[in-house]
Homo-oligomer: A and B are copies of this chain.
Amino acid sequence: ADAQAGRAKATQCQACHGLDGKSKLPEAPHLAGQLEQYLAKALKDYKSGARKDEMMNMMAKPLSDADIANLAAFYSSLKP
């Protein structure tokens, strides 16, 4: 996975999760330093709808598998 590409993609995520992976909203979890595998699974489940959240289902819908892997690599690489 390519954390650099993940960082570019994360410009869409930063409003709630920040580019530092620190939550910017009470509902949004911190992502910095989270398990890469866990982040990828969350995005996969939000994309497939296996995990329901209005905002995240919408955000994850257009993501490719590569986007998901890169975003997971990026956010897990950040210092919590």
Per assembly, the copies of the chain total: 2
Interface flags, A29-53, vs B, CB<8A=1, else 0: 1101111011001000000001110
Chain B residues, Cβ within 8 Å of A51: 51-52
Is A57 engaged at the interface, CB distance under 8 Å to the other chain? Answer: no
In the complex, which residues of chain B have a beta carbon less than 8 angstroms from the beta carbon of A58?
Answer: none
Shortest beta-carbon distance from A43 to chain B in Å:
13
Complex CA–CA separation, A6 to B41 (angstroms): 27
* Contact B30 A26, beta carbon cutoff 8 Å: no
* A26 in complex: contacting residue of B23, B37, B50, B80, CB < 8 Å: B37
Residues of A participating in the B interface, judged by any CB pair closer than 8 Å: 23, 26-30, 32-35, 37-38, 41, 50-52, 80
